[in-house]
Amino acid sequence: MTETPLLELRGLGGGYPPISVFRNIDLSVGMHESVGFFGPNGHGKTTLLKTVAGLIDPWEGDIIFAGNRLNAEGRMRARTSKNLNYDLFRKRRIRAETVVNAGLIYVMQGNLLFPEMTVEEVLDIAPLAAKGRTGITAMRQRVDDLFPRLQERRGSKIRYLSGGERQMVSIAVGLLALPQMLILDEPTLGLSPKLRIELAQAIRKIRDSRVPLIIVDQNIEFLTGLVDRLFLFDHGSITREIDSGSMPKHAEIMTMMFGEAN
Ligand SMILES: Nc1ncnc2c1ncn2[C@@H]1O[C@H](COP(=O)(O)OP(=O)(O)O)[C@@H](O)[C@H]1O
Ligand SMILES: [Mg+2]
């Protein structure tokens, strides 16, 4: 990649003190690039993304977005108190608000939405995260075009939606924040194959509208065709980078990650 990166992670490490979850993450994502992460459950993909999103403090390394460092400089200091609530009053080293204001928008794993609100109510408040960015009306129109199903369900409370519909709302909420870059954490979790294909079509349209994406998914067929590069993630580290031209099949990737026995 030759162009100036939009997102750069330099030597990023982090976790849930005192447990280190990921380390030495070096990554550059270009202005018009989409990248994927694939790896086993519980190996730290979500923890890495939550750190990038400013929800968890990085221990070391830097998160640079559009040329600005989003985290406090230096390494996280060792624990200085035995108080059990220490992590609650430890000074934060990154703020989610800074990240959102910069336009780096993270759509969490698991469709965490407000169950008692209607689809329409959720979509109406979502642009609050767009802060100074312009283009809400056009994006709302785009979201309606991308997910016609949400128009039909607009009066329904979130708790009555199917998993697929909730996922659509989650992605719509991310889009209505007018992202400079959108991070999708396991968007196909729990979806039927048919819905997965529908969602892939919608995400391809988002990518084609030049919103750079980071997508984590357990389904390699889903990622193929959506990303320019794929990173294999194993035990808290990026272990391999694969170009979109040589995307493996599911069976091949299992062999790459777990050896011939699989
Ligand atoms: N809030 C938390 N507190 C402590 N440990 C956690 C927390 N969330 C996840 N973990 C642990 O961190 C590790 C990485 O989890 P996660 O980042 O969710 O992995 P992945 O997204 O790759 O499935 C796991 O061992 C998990 O149990
Ligand atoms: Mg995860």
Q: Write the pLDDT tens digit of every residue in 182-231.
A: 999 999 998 999 999 999 999 999 999 999 999 999 999 999 999 999 99
pLDDT range class, residue 248, cuts 50, 70, 90: confident
11 backbone φψ class: left, alpha, beta (φ>0; ψ -120 to 50): left
User: Residue 84: inside a domain, yes or no?
Assistant: no
Distance CA 209, CA 182 (A): 12
Average pLDDT score over the chain: 93
For the CA of 185, the closest atom of ligand 1 is 21
User: Residue 94: inside a domain, yes or no?
Assistant: yes
Number of domains in the chain: 1
CA of 27 from ligand 1 middle (Å) equals: 21
Distance CA 181, CA 119 (A): 23
Please give the C-alpha separations between residue 162 and each of 133, 150, 154, 159, 165, in angstroms, as whole numbers: 31, 11, 13, 8, 5
Residue 1 clears pLDDT 60, i.e. is over it? no
Q: Residue 152: which CATH number?
A: 3.40.50.300
pLDDT range class, residue 2, cuts 50, 70, 90: low
- Closest ligand to 42 CA? 1
CA of 163 from ligand 1 middle (Å) equals: 22
Which three-class secondary structure state does DSSP give residue 79? coil
Contact 166, 217 (CB under 8 A): no
- Going by CA atoms, what residue is nearest to atom 9 of ligand 1? 47
Name which of 170, 169, 175 is nearest 130 in CA terms: 175
Residues linked to residue 107 through DSSP beta bridges, in sequence order: 184
Which amino acid is it at 234?
Answer: D
User: Residue 79: inside a domain, yes or no?
Assistant: no
Residue 125 clears pLDDT 80, i.e. is over it? yes
CA of 78 from ligand 1 middle (Å) equals: 21
Q: What is the mean pLDDT of residues 160-186?
A: 96
What is the percent of the chain where pLDDT is above 70?
98
- Going by CA atoms, what residue is nearest to atom 17 of ligand 1? 44
User: Residue 63: inside a domain, yes or no?
Assistant: yes
pLDDT at residue 64 in the model: 98
pLDDT range class, residue 261, cuts 50, 70, 90: low
pLDDT in tens, 140-156: 999 999 999 999 999 99
Specify the DSSP element, H or E, that contains 48. helix 45-52
Distance CA 33, CA 8 (A): 13
- Going by CA atoms, what residue is nearest to atom 26 of ligand 1? 42
User: Residue 102: inside a domain, yes or no?
Assistant: yes
- For residue 74, the tally of other CB atoms under 10 A from its CB is 9
CA of 226 from ligand 2 middle (Å) equals: 19
pLDDT at residue 253 in the model: 84
User: Residue 81: inside a domain, yes or no?
Assistant: no
| More confident site: 85 or 23 | 23
The domain in which residue 55 lies consists of 5-74+90-258
